Chains A and B, each alone.
Chain A
Amino acid sequence: MSGDAVGITGIGVTAPGGIGAKAFWELLMAGRSATRTITLFNPEGFRSRIAAECDFDPVAAGLTPREIRRMDRAAQFAVVSAREALADSGIEAGWPPPERRAVSLGSAVGCTMRLEQEYVVLSDGGRHWLVDHGYAVPRLYDYMAPSTLAAEVAWASAAEGPVALVSTGCTSGLDAVGRGVRLLQEGTADIVLAGATEAPISPITVACFDAIRATSPNNLEPGRASRPFDRDRDGFVLGEGAAVLVLERVASAVERGAHLYAEIAGFASRSNAFHMTGLRPDGREMAEAIRASLAEARKRPEEIDYINAHGSGTRQNDRHETAAFKRSFGARAYQVPVSSIKSMVGHSLGAIGSIEVAACALAIEHDMVPPTANLHTPDPECDLDYVPLTARRQPTRSVLSVGSGFGGFQSAMVLKAPAGA
């Protein structure tokens, strides 16, 4: 990117299938799908009754009873992941000072879960439009204002520089990390806790995707429901989780002898200005975001070793995206491995972009490409190498990750192995 090189020195992940970055990576390498029948509420009567849930125990994750009472599940994920990332980075209290620490956190739907739970109490199960304020919890406003999520991460990481929640729907996670890189390049901060969190597995969110038939109704085979690029795919599977990264300038990481997972070399986003949920089949704007991120990273398509796809598993997304890869990569699109980890951890809306950046950094770290689980019968219109079923060992030095979301937003990020690694 223009200006100083920025890298990742700490990774924290809370994902379905296991808590912590290590468990997350093991799940991806095993090609195991963590989707299942919803347990967080009784999904009877809903069209899609499956999700990728985190087996998250806030006490075991180190949260105090007070924190657990105060925080929405999305905040709990974010704080636990931020603490893991900070510990991983080796950053302690001395450096940098609080005013040089920033937070750029993404989330698409904020504290929906608590907001809905409290609504049910105040409205007596939807009976009263004029909800009863006498039953309101003291922190109700914290659940209405999604900025709370960023504030919690700021407190957990002693950040007093710029702190913000980025909320561009399903590209929030990529956009929040991209924005974190900019803060470092412009000199506003010395480290940025950048990432995203989401805990959307609640009745209202499940119902709103039911209403537009965006999620998979494959309730009888939960483990096989998320199948991006497969001929028989029938929608995405809702997920939850968080990833928080410690970003810093490569120069400071080298100076303090920190481990660098990867550099973030390019980022761009574009909007299709077309439709809130519809995608033009030609993938034009996503291709443009990809081109711009490659240009900033000074990488040619031939140099990209792996593409982490948005790969949500909806009919239209996977074709749109395949078209975008062909448009931006030309003949190289047919050679570069492409995979979707949503086949294993589901689609956690705003969080997934950051979880995927974490996966890309770990792919570079381990020279391994995660597979697309459940891809048994490729869609003839999706004719690229989607790394079906099994993880692949290969030199992985430069990686592209993309995201696409409601509102027409398309984002792309290029990561590369640290110089000298």
Chain B
Amino acid sequence: MTVRAMVTGLGVVAPAGVGAEAFWAAARAGHCALGPITRFDAAAYPVRLAGEVATFDAAAFVPGPVIPQTDRFTHLGLAAAAMALADARANPADLPEYGSAVVTGASSGGTEFGQHEIERLWREGPGSVGAYQSIAWFYAATTGQVSIRHKLRGPCGVLATEQAAGLDALGEARRMLRSGVRLVLAGGTDASLCPYGLVAQLSTGLLSAASDPSAAYLPFSPAAGGYVPGEGGAMMVIERADDAAARGIAPYGEIAGYAATFDPPPGSGRGPGLVRAAMLALRDADVPPSEIDVVFADAMGAPAWDSAEAAAISAVFGPHGVPVTAPKAGSGRSYAGGASLDVACALLSIRAGLIPPTPGGGRPDPRYAIDLVSRQPRKQRIRAALVLARGYGGFNAAVVVRAPSRPE
């Protein structure tokens, strides 16, 4: 049975805006929401910029007792999930008891909460760890809390493939629909902007040490010097096309294709697996490269990684063969949350008929031979978009989202 997986609701918590419309207004304008880290004193660290969801008020979304029991990544996830369900005008109680589910991508769990508890343990001794560490820190915290909050009793899931997990969660949601689940909340939110979280991220050597937020994260630019870490992400309601039609809700688009691959081991001499992920996702969607109107790039912002991604895009579409954009340059990389956010952004682009620009405004390095949308948004019809994500360590994933207009 072919089940078409339609996205009918979006919930966004991003540095550029809380709520899909606020986020989109900033993204289409190429607004840069990066700034100095305010969540702790980062003066002593070589990286002092981040994309923080500064306008987020957990109390507006998360029930009071749950706030101290959970980490910020779960606060953000609960907020995004509630917004997505409201946007889809979906009520899981209308579905069969085990007909709704939640699957999230997670990259690092309840990092800030965990640092507080582990500090207490080592500072004050074994009896000092609080009762909520066991449910706040682990990677499944957000999925569990969202399941409880919205009474989602189907087969819930959590995938960890670093940044790629934001796409893997959507692929998993589509599998769930095919196995009979009627509605899936899927996506991811990450938040690792605490001292230990930042120091761990520093160890990859991929973070930008720049001090000017407008010039700190410049993917595909000759001046690229790493990425700026971010927090936040997106959750979406995914349901079958016939269910969406029966409810009279107009979908944003369809998760039409998905694939995941893993890179050859370091030192093998063979190229990365990103091209294969893109090709498999296109084949899965039955969409030829010529019908992809925009690529939302992974956009690491580090030269070797940008070069590899540009080569992959050219291998699929030809040099300058497709518009490429990276709105995340205005929000920072927020890992599993970031890839889900890219899919939300692609769906909003389809709706608007407009490709948001890559903030930073620079021209791409000509050696990359890519058509990077920068400075201005580009108005054009988007039939389908390809979203790419690379998870640190060798993970690749690709999702094809298609405009909803295609007839049954």
Contact = CB atoms under 8 A, between A and B. Distances in A.
A131 B392 CA distance: 23
A358 to B, nearest CB: 22
B264 A160 contact: yes
A351 B191 CA distance: 26
B157 A166 contact: yes
Given A133-B45, A273-B148, A409-B156, A144 B108 contact: yes
A268 interface: yes
A303 interface: no
A273 B151 contact: yes
Contact of B108 (A131, A145, A151, A168): A145
Contacts of A169: 138, 140, 144
B262 A103 contact: yes
B323 interface: no
Contacts of B203: 136-141
A120 to B, nearest CB: 6
B260 A164 contact: yes
Interface stretch (A13-21, A205-213, A311-319, A381-389): A205-213
29 contacts: A45-B125, A46-B126, A119-B115, A130-B41, A136-B200, A140-B199, A140-B202, A141-B201, A144-B111, A146-B139, A146-B160, A147-B395, A154-B394, A159-B262, A161-B262, A163-B394, A164-B159, A167-B139, A167-B159, A203-B121, A204-B117, A207-B133, A209-B134, A211-B133, A212-B134, A270-B154, A272-B153, A407-B135, A407-B140
Interface stretch (A108-116, A218-226, A340-348, A366-374): A108-116
B368 to A, nearest CB: 25
Nearest to A126: B122
B79 to A, nearest CB: 18
A95 interface: no
B145 A276 contact: yes
A176 to B, nearest CB: 10
Given A144-B108, A406-B135, 6 more contacts: A123-B196, A133-B44, A147-B393, A211-B133, A269-B155, A276-B141
A245 B130 CA distance: 36
Contact of B98 (A148, A182, A270, A277): A270
A126 B119 contact: yes
Contacts of A208: 117, 129, 133-134, 137
Contacts of B101: 271
Tell me which of B45, B117, B158 has the highest count of chain A C-beta atoms within 10 A of its own C-beta: B158
Contacts of B165: 147, 164
Contacts of B139: 108, 110, 146, 167
B134 A127 contact: no
A207 B121 contact: yes
Contacts of A145: 107-108, 160, 162, 391-393
A277 B134 CA distance: 9
Contact of A407 (B109, B126, B147): B147
A8 to B, nearest CB: 21
A378 interface: no
User: A-B pairs with the 7 shortest C-beta distances?
Assistant: A407-B144, A126-B122, A126-B123, A167-B139, A162-B260, A140-B203, A163-B262
Contacts of A146: 108-109, 139, 160
A155 B151 CA distance: 39
Contacts, number: 251
Contacts of B125: 45
B160 A45 contact: no
B118 A119 contact: yes
Nearest to B157: A168
Nearest to A2: B179
B175 interface: yes
A285 interface: yes
A97 B46 CA distance: 43
Contacts of B157: 166, 168, 175, 179
Contacts of A123: 119, 122, 196
Contacts of A268: 155
Nearest to B101: A271
A288 interface: yes
Given A125-B122, A145-B392, A277-B134, A285 B153 contact: yes
A110 B165 CA distance: 15
B144 A406 contact: yes
A232 to B, nearest CB: 24
Interface residues of B, number: 85
A408 B45 contact: no
A42 to B, nearest CB: 11
A408 B119 contact: no
Contacts of A166: 157-160
B87 interface: no
Contacts of B392: 141, 145, 147
A186 interface: yes
A103 B393 CA distance: 14
Nearest to A407: B144
B195 interface: yes
A275 interface: yes
Contacts of B161: 147, 150, 163-165
A99 interface: yes
Contacts of B106: 167
A119 B196 contact: yes
B224 to A, nearest CB: 20
A285 B151 CA distance: 12
A129 B262 contact: no
B393 A211 contact: no
A141 B159 contact: no
B148 A408 contact: yes
A127 B395 CA distance: 36
Contacts of A67: none
B276 to A, nearest CB: 7
Interface in A273-303: 273-277, 285, 288, 292
A78 to B, nearest CB: 14
B197 interface: yes
B134 A141 contact: no
Nearest to A137: B203
Contact of A160 (B138, B141, B262): B262
B145 A160 contact: no
B200 A148 contact: no
B273 interface: yes
Contacts of A269: 155-156
